[in-house]
């Protein structure tokens, strides 16, 4: 006869000290990106902003790009989670879903513009950042494609199908918001322009 099982091990509910330290480093890096931009920050400036030594930072991350890749990953994870939740709750009216998608993207750029600009700028030279950023692009494209199909765009892979149109709209939107964020122009006005373009491609 099998012995009765003992009590289940108590699950850890509080974050570990190392997790808190990593989060503090990433928070400091995000502040540094806002204040200085990716080109002007270093391991030293990030460590100082996080209140630790350079050697302590190297315990968690091997380089500045490793810090930035982890920061992009954290931001993209939050963005993708929000996109997927919004897609699940999206209105049946595809036009309204597209309007909401553009507004949500503008809000994300307003909140995390410095990280998102760094992701765009560093993707070409840092494969890990590019992989994370493409994950956000793909999630946005999937939600956009679903809304386009509900608006009557053919659900096929042709040049006028939902896949191609959503890819073009998403990439155009990324660059337009990037430019607005970089140059400090109105994200709300950019969203209004983009919404007009998005709706203009719909049939009827």
- Give me the DSSP letters along 11-49: PP-SPPHHHHHHHHHHHHHHHHHHHH-GGG--HHHHHHH
% of the chain at pLDDT higher than 70: 91
Structural domains of the chain, count: 2
Q: Is residue 204 pLDDT above 90, yes or no?
A: no
Same domain flag for 85 and 160: yes
Q: Residue 30: give its domain's CATH number.
A: 1.10.10.60
Please state the pTM of the whole predicted model: 0.87
Q: What is the mean pLDDT of the chain?
A: 91
Same domain flag for 104 and 191: yes
- In angstroms, rounded to a whole number, what is the distance separating the alpha carbons of residues 189 and 197? 13
**Domain enclosing residue 52, as ranges:** 17-62
Q: What is the mean pLDDT of residues 159-167?
A: 96
pLDDT digits (tens, 9 = 90+) for 27-80: 999 999 999 999 999 999 999 999 999 999 999 999 999 999 999 999 999 999
Same domain flag for 116 and 192: yes
- Residue 1 in any domain: the answer is no
């Amino acid at each position: 006869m099998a012995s009765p099982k003992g009590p289940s091990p108590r699950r850890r509910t509080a974050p570990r000290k190392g997790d808190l330290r990593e989060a503090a480093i990433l928070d400091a890096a995000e502040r540094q990106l806002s204040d200085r931009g990716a080109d002007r920050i270093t391991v030293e400036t990030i460590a100082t902003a996080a209140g630790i030594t350079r050697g302590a930072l190297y315990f968690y991350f091997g380089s500045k790009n490793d810090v930035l890749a982890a920061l992009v990953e954290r931001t993209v994870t939050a963005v993708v989670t929000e996109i997927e939740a919004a897609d699940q709750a999206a209105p049946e009216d595809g036009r309204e879903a597209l309007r909401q998608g553009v507004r949500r993207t503008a809000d994300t750029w307003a909140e995390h513009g410095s990280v998102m600009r760094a992701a765009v700028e560093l993707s070409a030279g840092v494969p890990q950042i590019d992989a994370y950023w493409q994950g956000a692009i793909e999630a946005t494209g999937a939600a956009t494609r679903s809304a386009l199909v509900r608006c009557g765009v053919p659900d096929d892979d042709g040049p006028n199908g939902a896949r191609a149109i959503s890819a073009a709209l998403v990439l155009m939107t990324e660059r337009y918001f990037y430019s607005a964020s970089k140059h400090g122009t109105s994200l709300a006005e950019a969203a209004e322009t983009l919404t007009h373009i998005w709706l203009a491609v719909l049939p009827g």
